[in-house]
Amino acid sequence: MTEETPGATGPHGLTRRTIVKGAAWSVPAVAVAIAAPTASASDTSTCPSLPVPGAWVTSTSGTGNSAFAGWNNTTRTEDGFTFIRDSDSSSTPYVYTISTFVDLEAGRSYLFRLDYVAGRGCTSATGPGATSVNTDLRFAVGTEAFGLRSTQSTGAYAVVTHLPPCATGFSTETETLQGILEPTQTGPVPVAIQFVAYPTLEGNNDDYYVIPSIVCL
């Protein structure tokens, strides 16, 4: 459960906490402006929706930190997910995967998108000048990766741009990762969002806030 602070709930049901180990958190105001797919897409009457975040399935490998049971966990908002956990002084990555299925029809075209903002995992207590460690983001539909990002050059993928310095919260710019899928068979297709927190003795991995969506073309 997310810890609640009365009167401090953000626009996505997120609760502000000012000092949290492993997360220089502020609710990404830009996320409020992220547009959900609208009726402008064609043939919305039969367009499938992604399940609500609470219905996605979580799997993990490696060891994530367990302190601060509220904000220092990965949480589900009403429209997306936050990943702010860290590898827990381990020598192997902490891998956190959130997945679901969506029923698609053969011969149709579907745009899958993932809007995200990223932030440094440095704590407010350590302040500017503190360091954090890379976290990878992978957005996959079926067997295709539609989005691959790393927060730092030590990661496996292209580095997130406009990532703010430590202790300043999430990026103020939203980026969209997306791809078009044209299935050849009708049936369920897996959708997965994976975070890989690289090993760190200090325990501060960078953070993400993501919102997945689907548009029928």
79 near Ca ion (CB under 5 A) = no
Binding region for Ca ion (CB under 5 A) out of 19-27, 46-54, 62-70, 174-182: 19-27
Rounded (5°) CA angle 159-163-169: 145
88 near Ca ion (CB under 5 A) = no
Q: Which of 207, 211, 214, 216 binds Ca ion (CB under 5 A)?
A: 207
Restricting to residues 116-135, name those near Ca ion by CB under 5 A. Answer: 121
Residue 86 or residue 136: which is nearer to Ca ion going by CB? 86
181 near Ca ion (CB under 5 A) = no
Residue 100 or residue 204: which is nearer to Ca ion going by CB? 204
Give residue 93's Cα distance to chain centre: 17
163 near Ca ion (CB under 5 A) = no
Strands 135-141 and 81-83, sheet pairing: unpaired
At 153, is the secondary structure helix, strand, or coil? coil
Extended beta strands in 62-150, E state: 75-76, 81-83, 94-104, 110-119, 135-141, 144-150
82 near Ca ion (CB under 5 A) = no
Binding region for Ca ion (CB under 5 A) out of 35-43, 94-102, 172-180, 203-211: 203-211
Gap between the Cα atoms of 204 and 122, Å rounded? 6
Handedness of CA 63, 151, 148, 26 (dihedral sign): positive
Binding region for Ca ion (CB under 5 A) out of 45-53, 87-95, 145-153, 198-206: 198-206
CB of 85 to Ca ion, least distance (A): 6
φ and ψ at residue 54, rounded to 5 degrees? -65, -15
Binding region for Ca ion (CB under 5 A) out of 139-147, 162-170, 172-180, 207-215: 207-215
**Where does residue 59 fall: left (phi above 0), alpha (psi -120 to 50 degrees), or beta otherwise?**
beta
Q: Which of 100, 194, 205, 213 binds Ca ion (CB under 5 A)?
A: 205
Tell me which residues touch Ca ion (CB under 5 A): 22-23, 84, 86, 121, 205, 207
